[in-house]
Amino acid sequence: MSAFDDGSGLDFGAHDPDFGPGDGGPPPLTIEERAGVLDDLAELEVFRTLLEPTGVKGIVVDCPDCDEEHHVDWPLMQANLRQLLDEGQTGRHEPPFDPDPDDYVSWDYASGYADGVAAAAAREE
């Protein structure tokens, strides 16, 4: 799978042209890939829980197909991950109209933020 740079190395935007209707679709995810997507879903829920109340609307990802950033809101990112689990790939989705880039963070930023919150909580204990 190609990277759609959400930090997981899995493709959340490109629809593989080698798989068309009637050909059975992409091969199923391996056990390791499924585990990675399940981990990503769990992380995404943590990110959303921590960042949504601060005004962050979702994740920004670099698209390898068009070399542009895509702003993906929390529900759409979750839907992409679930579709990846169910179908082995994600379909194309329309990005939000005229998103404010300040409302989105990278997967790495969200991960670092969550790590910082966890470290601060551990110090308080």
- Residue 56 counted as domain residue: yes
**Whether pLDDT at 2 is above 60:** no
Listed in sequence order, the residues at least 6 apart from 103 whose beta carbon sits closer than 8 Å to its beta carbon are 55, 56, 57, 58, 71
Containing structural domain, residue 46:
31-124
Domain-located, residue 67: yes
* Closest alpha carbon to 79 in 17, 12, 9: 12
Residues 87-110: what's their mean pLDDT?
A: 85
pLDDT at 23: 57
With both helix axes pointing from N to C terminus, report the angle between 74-87 and 31-51 in degrees, rounded to the nearest 10.
Answer: 170
Residue 1 inside a domain? The answer is: no
Task: Please indicate, yes or no, if residue 7 is contained in any of the structural domains.
Answer: no
- Given a cut of 80, whether residue 39 has pLDDT beyond it is yes
Residue 78 lies inside a defined structural domain of this protein: yes
Two structure tokens written together for 97: 């109209």
Q: Which of 116 and 6 is assigned the larger pLDDT?
A: 116
Q: What percent of the chain has a predicted confidence (pLDDT) above 70?
A: 78
Q: Would the pLDDT of 103 be above 50?
A: yes
Max mean pLDDT range (6-10, 43-47, 120-124): 43-47
Number of structural domains found in the chain: 1
Average pLDDT, the chain: 82
